[in-house]
Amino acid sequence: MADPLAQSFLDQINDHLGIAHKVCRLYCQDPDERADLMQEMLYQLWKAYPAFGERSSFTTWMYRVCLNTALTGYRKSKRNNWESLSLSHQQIPEPMTDAGEEHRQILYQAIATLSPLNKAIVLLYLDELSYDEIAGITGLTKANVSVRLVRIKKQLEAQLNKQANYSNNVNS
């Protein structure tokens, strides 16, 4: 007979695995690094699951664990004072056929320029979490989340305009 705790964990994780994939994609450009981060997130989720206690929704708790794991990994890599060369630096990108996917890639490139905490905030916002939920996950106040989102939107808009202007100049 299967362990009920393990089965409950697997059921919840399988239902919400997209959260971990989104966080990995946001914090790691290299596929190998994403796979390593995913493995570490799943380990941290399993380790913390017995203490979950359903004091918050599972998705809120999962975001918190995944983002903390990603941010901890980010801090460790900064302490090592080296940055791996991402695939985007090594290869010419393949042409995209789906315009929606191209826009999504451009948005992710702009988001990649944000600070680690601001990446987390925009990810949660794009997943339509409330300001209260974002505050609970990040440890910020609701007012701070609101102010940061206004600044993040302006920063992303400037970054996207910069990319559009560069693209127009290259294609001219």
Contact 152, 158 (CB under 8 A): no
With a pLDDT cut of 90, the percent of the chain lying above it is: 46
Cα distances from 120 to residues 4, 76, 86, 164, in angstroms, run: 32, 17, 20, 24
Q: Which CATH number fits domain 1-90: 3.40.50.300, 3.40.50.2000, 3.40.630.10, 1.10.1740.10?
A: 1.10.1740.10
Count the alpha carbons within 13 Å of 152 in the hemisphere toward its beta carbon.
24
Per-residue confidence band for 93, with pLDDT thresholds at 50, 70 and 90 = very low
* Residues 29-77: tens digit of each pLDDT: 889 999 999 999 999 999 999 888 777 889 999 999 999 999 887 656 6
* Residues 104-129: tens digit of each pLDDT: 788 888 888 899 999 999 999 988 99
pLDDT at 49: 92
What value, to the nearest 5°, has the Cα angle with vertex 130 and ends 9 and 126?
80
With a pLDDT cut of 70, the percent of the chain lying above it is: 79
- Residue 158: alpha-carbon gap to chain centroid: 21
What value, to the nearest 5°, has the Cα angle with vertex 103 and ends 97 and 120?
135
Count the alpha carbons within 13 Å of 119 in the hemisphere toward its beta carbon.
23
- Residue 149: alpha-carbon gap to chain centroid: 15
Q: Which CATH number fits domain 97-172: 1.10.1060.10, 1.10.10.10, 3.30.360.10, 3.40.50.970?
A: 1.10.10.10
Query: What's the mean pLDDT in 67-95?
Result: 56
Domain residue spans of the chain: 1-90, 97-172
pLDDT at 82: 40
Pairwise CA distance, residues 145 & 160, whole Å: 22
Helix 58-79 and helix 31-48: axis angle, to 10°? 130
Cα distances from 15 to residues 8, 21, 81, 102, 146, in angstroms, run: 11, 12, 37, 27, 29
pLDDT at 121: 94
Q: What average pLDDT is seen over the chain?
A: 82
